[in-house]
A and B are shown apart, each in its own frame.
Chain A
Amino acid sequence: MDRKITSNTLKERFARRSFLIGAIQGGIGCLLAARMGYIAVAENEKYEMEAESNRVNLSLIPPRRGWILDRNGSPLASNRADFRVDIIPERVNDPDQTVNLLSELLNFTPAEREDLRFRLEESRGFAAVPVANNLGFEDFAAVSVRLPELPGVVPQRGYSRYYPTGPAVGHLLGYVGAPSREEYEEEPQPLLMTPGFKIGKDGVEQQFEMDLRGVPGARRVEVTASGRIVRDLETRDDVQGDPVRLTIDGPLQDYAARRLGLESGSVVVMDCLTGDLLCMASMPSFDPNSFSDGIGRLEYSMLRENDRVPLRNKVLQGLYPPGSTVKPTVGMALLGEGIDPDETVFCGGGLRVGNRVFRCWNRSGHGSTDLAKAIYQSCDVYFYAMAQRTGMWPIANACMDYGMQQQFELPVANQFYGTVPNPEWKMEKYGREWQAFDTVNATIGQGYMLASPLQLAVMAARLATSEKVTPRLALNSTVPQFEDMGVSAEYKAYIRQAMSDVVNGPGTAGRARLPMEEVLMAGKTGTAQVVGLNFSDGRSGPWRFRDHGLFIFFAPFDNPRYAGAVVIEHGGGSGAAYPVARDVMTFMFDPNQGLEALHALEEQWGGTAQERLDRQYAQYAASQGVDLPPAPPPVTLARQVDAEARAAAAEPEAPATDAFVPREEANPRSDETIT
C-alpha cells in the first residue's frame, strides 16, 4: 500500500485515529448516559419497589394465645409476659461460638448447652430455635448488648404459656412448643416460622389450636442487609386467640392430681346431670410449663426412664381389667334377663360347674348371697352361677351399654376403647370357641376385659342415673337430654342401695365413707390382677407385679350428682383406690375438710406434686451429668408414647386357656364390716 511512510503520514494518521478514539469515548459516554437514563427513569418504578422490598421487612408478631378456662372461668392456662431469646439458624455464622457465648451469658448448665447445640444442629435453616424464655431483664440485656457478636440471635419480649397448676393439667391440656418441620409442612404459613410462635402439641392445646391461636400482628421494620433492625415503620397489633372454656373444675383437678400423690393412676369425676367432666387427673405427669421451649434431654430421659409412664394420659390411654367394678353392671344385665334380685346363691368359696370348681376370692365363702350382697361383698360365686344361666351375650351388651368399649365425642387426641369380649369376638380373634370359663372371667371383669378410667366413670354415671350419660369437655350452657336406659325405678334404687352398702353398709369399702353426715357415697371396689397367683401376692414385691386398684363411685347415692372412677396402677388392690375417691368427693362437698386430709398426706410425701417433680428433676440432673441421649422432637415423642401405651395395653397374644383364679381377699375387707 502506502510505501512511503513519513512522520507526516504518521501525524495525520494520529489525528485521524485520535479523533476516532475521541468519538468512541464520546459514544461510550452517550451509551452510559442513555443506560443510566433508562435504568433511572424508565425502570425507576421497578427498582424503587425492589429497593423498598430490600429495605422493609415485614415481621409477624406471634398472637397471644387464648386462655383455657375452667368451668368457673379461672385460667387453667394463661400467658405470662417474658423476655425470651431465639436463634434463626440460617443467619448464624459460627454455631459453636454462638452456643458458647450464649451459654456463658445465660449461665447455662452443661446439659442445657448440649441441648441448645443439638437443637441448633437439628433445625438448621428452618425456623427459629428457642434458646431460653422467662429470662430476667438482666440476662435479656446481657444478650442484647452482645448482639453484634451474635448474628442470628433474636432477643425479644413475648409471652410464654403459663399453667398455674403445672403437672396437674399436663395430660389434660397438653403443652405448647415451636412448630416442628412436619407441622410446618402440613400448614406452610410464615407464622409458623416466626420466632416465639407456639403451637399446641397435645391435649386441649392441640385440639382447640385454631380457637386459641388468634391473629398475628405485624411489624414493618427497616432492616440492613444483615437483618439488623434499624427502626420501626408501622405496627399492627395482634388479636388474642379466643378463650376455651372447659367443663373441668380447676381446683378439683388440682386436688385430685395432688391426692394421687406418689401413686401412678388417674381420677375421673363427672357431673351425672350434664356429663360435664369435672376432673381428669392422671399422674405422675410432666410440667407443661417446662415443655414450652422444647423438651430438654434431662427432662426427657427422666420421664422416659420412669416406669410409671408420666408421658401417658392414663385417663384416656390407660386400659385396665375393670375387675369387680363391673359387677353392678353385670347385675343390671342379670336383672334385665329377669333374674329376681332376691334369689340367693350359696357361696361356699367356689362354684362347681361340671368337674371344675371356679373359686371365689373369699375362700371360706359368703354363704347365702343375693344380688345386693353379691355387690357389696363382691361375691364372685353369685355372678359365676347367674352368668351360667344367662350366658355371655346379655352381659357383654350391658357392659357396652354402660360405656365400655365406647369412644366418646371428646376433643382429645386419642382415646383407647378397650375390650368387651363375646363369643363372636373370640372366634374372630383367636379362632376358638367361647368357653364357660370365659364367661366366668368376664363376669368379674378379668380375662379379656379392658376399660379406661374414663369409661369406668361413665359406667358409674350411668349406673347412678340409668341414663345414657355422655361425657363432654367443652363447656356450653345447654343441658343435654340423655336417653333413658329403660331400667325400672325399683331396680335402679336397688343397685344404688347395694352400691351404697359397699361403702356405708356391710361392704368392702367401709373406709370410703365420706366424713360427713349429709352425703352418702355409693361405689364399687375392684382389684385387677396383673400376674398369676404363683407370681406375686399382688400387694408386695416388684411394683409392676402388684394388682391394680379400682373404684367407681357416685354421690349422693340416692340423688346422684357426681360420679367417677379412680384407678391406681399396681396399687396393690382396691384399698389404694377408694381412699382417693373418698377424699376427692370430700373436697367436692367440703373443700376445707378435703384439703386438711391432703395437707397431712403431702407432709408425709414431701410436698405438692409440683414441688416433688422439681426436686426429682434436680436430683436426676445432679446424678446424670451431660451424657444423655438427646430428646426427640415432640411429635415423635407423642407417637412413641402412644405406641408404648398401645403395646402395654394390647390384648394377650394367646387366648386364655383357663378360668381366672381370684386372689384370696383380693378385695381388702373393710375393717368395720367383715369379721
Chain B
Amino acid sequence: MRGSVTLPTPLAEFPWRVVIPLIMLVAFGAAVLHSAAGGSMDPYASSHLIRFGVFLVVALTISYFPREWASYVAIPAYIAVLVLLVAVEAMGQLGGGSQRWLELGFMRLQPSEVMKPGIVLLLAAYYHSLPAAMIGTWRAIAVPLGLIALPMALVLLQPDLGTSLAIAFGGVVVMFLAGIPQKWFIGGGVAAIFAIPLAYTFGLKPYQQQRVLTFLDPASDPQGSGYHIIQSQIAIGSGGISGKGFGEGSQSQLDYLPEPHTDFVFATMAEEWGLIGGLFVLVIFGIILRWGLIVARDAQDRFSRLLAGGLTATIFFYVAVNLMMVMGLAPVVGIPLPFMSHGGSSMMTNMLCVGGLMMVERWNRRSIKT
C-alpha cells in the first residue's frame, strides 16, 4: 500500500486517481454543454451527467472482473460485435439507408463503438497466447491484421471513416506494443505513403476528398466545407487567454460554430474559457492518459500490459484527432472529444476503456498483495 494514510480497503482501492480527474472533466464538459444549450441544463448537460453516472457504475463493475474472465470473453465478445455489425448493415440495407446503431431506448448503441475496446482486448489475448519466439513470424502479423481488417471493412461500409480509423489505430498500437519487429512498421509506413494517394483517389467519397482539400486550404471555401474549420478557429482564437466568460461566447451562442455540443465542444469551451480552460482540459487528459500508461507499465503479464496500453491509445486517438481537428491541424472527421462531447456512444466507448484500465489496475494491486 502506498502512502501513510490508512483508509478502509474499499475506499483505498477505489480508483481515485482516474475518477477524480474524470469527474472534473465531465463536470466541466457539462458546464460547457449548459452554455451550448443557451444556458440550460436541457437537453445536453443533464443527459451528459446521467450517462457519465451510468457508465461510471458500468466501468466500476467491469473493474471487478477477474483476469480469467477478461481473456476468456475476448473471442466471444469480438464475434458478437461482428455479428451485430453485420446485423446493423443488413438492417440498413433492408431499411433503405445506412444505419449505424441499434435503438436501446435510453441510448443508441453503435456496435462499431464497442469494437474499439473489443479489438484491443482480442489482440491482447491473441499476443498473450502467441509464443514469444513467434513474434517475428508471419503469424504474428497476418492474423491480427485480418482481425483488424474485418471489422474495419464492415464499419467502412456504413460508411464511417473516423471509427474505422480508430479501430485500426487501437489494433496497430497493440501490435506495436506486442513487439512486432520495427521493420514491419517502417515497411508499413512506406507502403502507407504510397497507399495514401491511391486511397484518396479511389477509396474516399467526394465529400471526404473535399474535406481533405478543405483542411489543406480552409479559405478556399469559407461558406462550404471550410466553414467548420474557420469558425472553430475563430471561436478558439477570439477566446484569448481568459475567454469571453461563461455563456458569453458569440460564436457558439449565435450559431456560427457548427456542432457546438458534439465535435466542436472544445471550441465552444475555448471561446468562453480561453487558453486557461484549454490548458486545463489538456492537463486533465494528460493525467488520465499518463495514468493509463502507468497502469500498463505496472501490469504483471503480457495480456494486461497490452490491454492497458491499447485502451489508453484508443482514448488518446479520440482526444488527439478531435483537438487537432478543431484547431485546424487535421481534416474534419466526425470524432467527438471524450468526456466532454455530448453523445452516448463516445461516452460509452471511453468509459469502457476506463473500466478496462481500472480492471487492470485492480489486477496489478492484487498481484502485488499476493
Contact = CB atoms under 8 A, between A and B. Distances in A.
Contacts of B293: 18, 21-22, 25
A6 interface: yes
Given A33-B279, A41-B240, A18 B234 contact: no
Interface in A1-44: 1, 4-7, 9-11, 13-15, 17-18, 21-22, 25-26, 28-29, 31-33, 35-37, 39-41, 43-44
Interface stretch (B23-31, B86-94, B97-105, B284-292): B284-292
Interface stretch (B41-49, B65-73, B323-331): B323-331
A44 B323 CA distance: 18
A621 B250 CA distance: 51
The listed residue with most B CB atoms (<10 A of its CB), out of A29, A32, A35, A222, is A32
A13 B132 CA distance: 12
B161 interface: no
A51 to B, nearest CB: 4
The listed residue with most A CB atoms (<10 A of its CB), out of B135, B231, B254, B302, is B254
A617 to B, nearest CB: 44
Interface string A33-64: 10111011101101110111011000000000
Nearest to B232: A39
A40 B236 contact: yes
A413 to B, nearest CB: 41
Interface in B120-161: 132-133, 135-136
B132 A5 contact: yes
Nearest to A35: B327
Contact of A54 (B136, B176, B251): B251
B318 interface: no
A310 to B, nearest CB: 46
B216 interface: no
Given A5-B132, A6-B132, A10-B132, A18 B177 contact: yes
A50 B179 contact: no
Contacts of B327: 32, 35-36, 39
B52 interface: no
Nearest to B286: A29
Contacts of B282: 29, 32-33, 36
A230 interface: yes
A5 B135 contact: yes
Nearest to A10: B179
A50 B257 CA distance: 13
A40 B132 contact: no
A222 B256 CA distance: 12
B250 A55 contact: yes
Interface stretch (B11-19, B270-278, B356-364): B270-278
B255 A224 contact: yes
B179 A47 contact: no
Contacts, number: 140
Contact of B290 (A22, A36, A44): A22
A33 B281 CA distance: 10
A29 to B, nearest CB: 6
B297 interface: yes
Contacts of A47: 233-234, 236-238
A41 B321 CA distance: 22
A226 interface: yes
A224 B282 CA distance: 30
Interface residues of A, number: 44
A15 B178 CA distance: 10
Interface in A482-499: none
A225 interface: yes
A606 to B, nearest CB: 58
Contact of A15 (B135, B237, B297): B297
A35 B237 contact: no
A5 to B, nearest CB: 5
Interface in A404-433: none
Contacts of B251: 51, 54-55
B83 interface: no
A223 interface: yes
B305 A14 contact: yes
Nearest to A230: B254
B233 A5 contact: no
B327 to A, nearest CB: 5
Contacts of B173: 21
Given A9-B132, A47-B234, A21 B313 contact: yes
A17 B320 contact: no
Contacts of B133: 4-6
A47 B250 CA distance: 12
A54 B234 CA distance: 10
B305 to A, nearest CB: 6
B177 A14 contact: yes
Contacts of B238: 44, 47-48, 50-51
A39 B254 contact: no
Interface string B311-347: 0010010001001100111000000000000000000
A13 B302 CA distance: 11
A46 B234 CA distance: 8
Contacts of B296: 18
A251 B291 CA distance: 93
Interface of A: 1, 4-7, 9-11, 13-15, 17-18, 21-22, 25-26, 28-29, 31-33, 35-37, 39-41, 43-44, 46-48, 50-52, 54-55, 222-226, 230
14 contacts: A5-B135, A5-B179, A9-B132, A13-B179, A25-B316, A39-B327, A41-B275, A43-B237, A44-B237, A50-B234, A51-B234, A51-B237, A54-B251, A224-B256
Interface of B: 132-133, 135-136, 173, 176-179, 181, 231, 233-241, 250-251, 254-256, 270-271, 274-275, 278-279, 282, 285-286, 289-290, 293, 296-297, 302, 305-306, 309, 313, 316, 320, 323-324, 327-329
Q: Which 8 A-B pairs have the closest CB atoms?
A: A47-B237, A51-B238, A225-B255, A13-B179, A55-B250, A39-B237, A10-B179, A224-B254
